[in-house]
């Protein structure tokens, strides 16, 4: 893998269904040695508890590391977790240089706030910094169907310079497990930032060894 590890990457996980996408993205970045500034919303923690039986209420960082290491040899990971109300965090300032930011999954509430310039929490503020500094911001929306308001918000955010994506896995890579579908969405997100990966087989590309998610490959 060949990419710039010098600057940190901002990753936010919000309260849409599909927090597994955000956790898989975090695992890839940490395995790749990327410095990560992580923010998880209260809604995302509720979703993780419901969908994945993952309770992060106490000792958040260690619980995340334990979960992502499940079934594999312990890895020496280090990343920063910021409280969603901490406006004093480095990512709240445009002078704090980063590779960009991804919000995966992005709830329609977060989408609406970003599209209308609201900064009610650290995720909103960090995303606003990316937009004003002309850094890459990718939001991966997980909702179905989209209403008129959500479509307008996506257009407004795109016009402001963000990349709006949907958690829409493809099928041309002939997925065999849910993890294959997760990796497709995460891989397409990573493509937007130029990360080299082998999370899925690309269209018309020769078959090659894929990077599987350890014991979670059968999810």
Cis omega (within 30 of 0) for bond into 85: no
Task: List the domain range (segments joined by +) for residue 208.
Answer: 9-218
Alpha helix (H) ranges present in 1-78? Answer: 19-31, 42-52, 60-68
Sheet holding 9-13, edge to edge: 80-81, 36-40, 9-13, 101-106, 137-141, 163-166
pLDDT given for residue 69 in this prediction: 86
Helix and strand counts by DSSP (H, E) for the chain: 7, 6
pLDDT given for residue 174 in this prediction: 86
Residue 106 lies in a domain: yes
Contact 80, 117 (CB under 8 A): no
For Cα atoms 170, 15, 157, give the angle at the middle one, nearest 5 degrees: 70
Kind and range of the H or E run holding 210: none
Cis omega (within 30 of 0) for bond into 145: yes
Q: Consecutive 10-residue runs of the chain (219 residues): their mean pLDDT?
A: 71 97 95 94 96 91 88 74 97 97 98 97 98 98 95 98 95 90 94 92 68 46
Closest CA to 123 of 134, 143, 109, 142: 109
Q: How far is Cα 9 from Cα 85, in angstroms, rounded to an integer?
A: 19
Residue 4 lies in a domain: no
Residue 120 lies in a domain: yes
DSSP letter, residue 89: S
Tokens 């949907």 appear where?
166
Length, in residues, of the chain? 219
Q: How far is Cα 94 from Cα 125, in angstroms, rounded to an integer?
A: 10
Residue 3 lies in a domain: no
Q: How far is Cα 176 from Cα 4, in angstroms, rounded to an integer?
A: 32
Residue 112 lies in a domain: yes
pLDDT given for residue 217 in this prediction: 38
Residue 172 lies in a domain: yes
pLDDT given for residue 1 in this prediction: 40
Residue 173 lies in a domain: yes
pLDDT given for residue 3 in this prediction: 45
Query: In CATH, what number is assigned to the domain containing residue 114?
Result: 3.40.50.1950
DSSP letter, residue 214: G
Phi and psi at residue 59, to the nearest 5°: 55, 50
Structure tokens at 213: 């998610």
Q: How many domains is the chain partitioned into structurally?
A: 1
Residue 176 lies in a domain: yes
The residues with which 38 forms a beta bridge, in sequence order, are: 11, 81
**3-class secondary-structure state, position 154:** helix
């Amino acid at each position: 893998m060949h990419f710039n590890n010098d600057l940190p990457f901002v990753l936010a996980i919000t309260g849409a269904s599909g927090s597994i996408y955000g956790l898989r993205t975090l695992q890839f970045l940490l395995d790749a040695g990327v410095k990560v500034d992580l923010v998880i919303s209260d809604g995302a923690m509720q979703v993780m508890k419901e969908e994945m039986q993952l309770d992060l209420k106490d000792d958040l960082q260690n619980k995340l590391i334990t979960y992502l290491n499940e079934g594999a040899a312990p890895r020496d990971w280090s990343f920063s977790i910021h409280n969603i109300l901490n406006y004093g965090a480095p990512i709240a300032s445009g002078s704090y240089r980063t590779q960009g930011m991804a919000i995966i999954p992005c709830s329609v509430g977060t989408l609406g706030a970003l599209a209308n310039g609201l900064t009610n929490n650290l995720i909103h503020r960090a995303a606003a910094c990316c937009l004003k500094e002309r850094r890459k911001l990718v939001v991966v929306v997980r909702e179905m169907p989209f209403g008129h308001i959500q479509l307008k918000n996506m257009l407004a955010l795109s016009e402001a310079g963000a990349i709006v994506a949907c958690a829409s896995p493809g099928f041309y890579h002939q997925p065999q497990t849910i993890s294959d579908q997760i990796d497709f969405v995460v891989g397409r997100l990573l493509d937007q930032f130029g990360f080299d990966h082998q999370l899925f087989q690309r269209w018309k590309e020769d078959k090659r060894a894929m990077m599987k998610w350890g014991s979670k490959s059968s999810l």
